[in-house]
């Protein structure tokens, strides 16, 4: 609990976790052959910097002290472990996210957010 990281540190942590999973979990490279980690490259090579959207928030931070105090609730896992579990879930549930790569969804996304914020590299 109480973990706070800059957004790029979270992205770097996720990329490192994907690299770790590909190194340790057999079958991932065969299941996702186009992934950089399947080819011995760093997942962080996929990072693309885009222009901030108008009115975007500069910082997101949650103060969970009230929740902890009033509900006597504490996080059960660390931020790093939560990110590890999240990456694992996505790698084992492609049926949930693969539709986001469809041409129909890409067209919808482009209409909503524009070319500068594409989900995939050109």
Q: What is the pLDDT of residues 15-38, one digit of tens each?
A: 999 999 999 999 999 999 999 999
pTM of this structure: 0.76
Q: What is the pLDDT of residues 53-84, one digit of tens each?
A: 777 776 667 778 888 899 998 888 888 999 99
**Residue 38's domain spans which residues?**
7-117
Count how many domains the chain has. 1
Side-chain half-sphere exposure of 101, counting CA atoms within 13 A: 8
* 38 found inside a domain: yes
Distance of alpha carbon 92 from alpha carbon 27, whole angstroms: 11
* 73 found inside a domain: yes
* 48 found inside a domain: yes
């Amino acid at each position: 609990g109480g973990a706070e990281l800059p957004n790029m540190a979270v992205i770097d942590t996720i990329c490192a976790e994907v690299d770790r999973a590909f190194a340790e979990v057999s079958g991932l490279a065969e299941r996702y052959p186009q992934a950089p980690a399947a080819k011995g490259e760093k997942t962080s090579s996929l990072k693309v910097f885009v222009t901030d959207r108008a009115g975007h928030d500069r910082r997101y931070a949650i103060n969970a002290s009230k929740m902890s105090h009033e509900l006597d609730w504490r996080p059960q896992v660390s931020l790093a472990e939560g990110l590890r579990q999240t990456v694992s879930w996505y790698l084992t549930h492609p049926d949930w996210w693969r539709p986001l790569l469809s041409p129909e969804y890409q067209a919808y996304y482009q209409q909503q957010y524009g070319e500068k914020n594409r989900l995939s590299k050109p």
